[in-house]
Amino acid sequence: CSFMQEIAEYPLIMCTTLLEYCYLAQDYDFVRKRLAAFADVLDFYREQYAEPNGLLNNLDKWCVVEWPASMRDGYDVDLTEGRPCLSKHNVINAYYLGAIKCLNKVAGMIGVKPYLAPEQTQNLQQTFVQAFYAPEQHLFRDSVSSDHVSLPGNVIAWWFELFPERAGVERLKQMIREKRLSQSLFFITFPMFCALSREGEDELMHALLTDENAWLKMLAQGATRTFEGWSKDLKRNASLFHLTLSYGAAFLTDWDIREIFRF
């Protein structure tokens, strides 16, 4: 990137990368050396942003959720670019819980103490559910001050197995069938595919991978590298050489994603 960006989700997302690395490389010596640094990141989030109940609030960094803004499915939180996100909202807390689960799973793989004890992790998850879950809709709300439900506000929670009931998962899968990839791009599509794979929804995942309005649209527009969007005109200054969406290839390989993100 040509300019400085501080995005609140990025350090938390790195915990998912560590878990993937642990599975794929099995370089446990390296992971043992680096695990404490990852734990320090989560300690910082807890010390700087967590309320007494454990949920994050009043961040001094921007939350992106999904990019560009038109792909957020109306996520009802002020996410003005570059401005600190002061709302107690769903996605950042889902990432935080997910990062804890990832470090706990890594710790189990290398035979060390979990970052957070299972009972404490479960208690924090219950607090998340109480704050954001709308039982009448069987979906998570975007924030504690909104009744709006969105794809981002539910996909990240699904990825980290935060749904309190099966009805919610089924409702979300129906939402995905309806919206397909029209409201997800960089940050939401990868977790969506991970969760679909874990659920054994291979047919739906394949249908999305081959959707004419996603990667195939890039090819139809002459792409030789992945674009910064599903098409040249998705955003005003879309790069035609942007490798983030190359992650689609990961779901055409045989890595055991179903096991990696099973908590």
Range of the domain at 35: 10-260
Examine residue 32 and state whether it is found in any structural domain, yes or no: yes
The average confidence (pLDDT) of the chain is 96
Half-sphere exposure of 135 (CA within 13 A, CB side): 3
pLDDT-based confidence at residue 237 (cuts at 50, 70, 90): confident
Examine residue 208 and state whether it is found in any structural domain, yes or no: yes
Rounded alpha-carbon distances, angstroms, from residue 60 to 54, 87, 118, 146, 216: 17, 11, 29, 21, 39
Q: What is the mean pLDDT of residues 209-216?
A: 98
pLDDT at residue number 3: 55
pLDDT in tens, 164-180: 999 999 999 999 999 99
Residues with Cβ within 8 Å of 62's Cβ and at least 6 positions away in sequence, in order, are 5, 6, 7, 8, 79, 80, 81, 82, 83, 84, 85
pLDDT at residue number 212: 97
Q: Is the pLDDT of residue 94 over 80?
A: yes
Examine residue 2 and state whether it is found in any structural domain, yes or no: no
Query: How many angstroms separate the CA atoms of 176 and 204, rounded?
Result: 9
Q: What is the mean pLDDT of residues 34-57?
A: 98
Using alpha carbons only, how large is the chain's radius of gyration in Å?
18
Examine residue 134 and state whether it is found in any structural domain, yes or no: yes
% of residues, the chain, pLDDT over 90: 93
Cα–Cα nearest to 157, from 212, 249, 80, 75: 75
Examine residue 178 and state whether it is found in any structural domain, yes or no: yes
Query: Considering its fold, how many domains does the chain have in total?
Result: 1
Q: What is the mean pLDDT of residues 2-23?
A: 90
Examine residue 30 and state whether it is found in any structural domain, yes or no: yes
pLDDT-based confidence at residue 213 (cuts at 50, 70, 90): very high
pLDDT in tens, 105-140: 999 999 999 999 999 999 999 999 999 999 999 999
Q: What is the mean pLDDT of residues 232-243?
A: 90
Q: Is the pLDDT of residue 223 over 90?
A: yes
CATH of the domain at 87: 1.50.10.10
Examine residue 4 and state whether it is found in any structural domain, yes or no: no
pLDDT at residue number 236: 84
Examine residue 1 and state whether it is found in any structural domain, yes or no: no
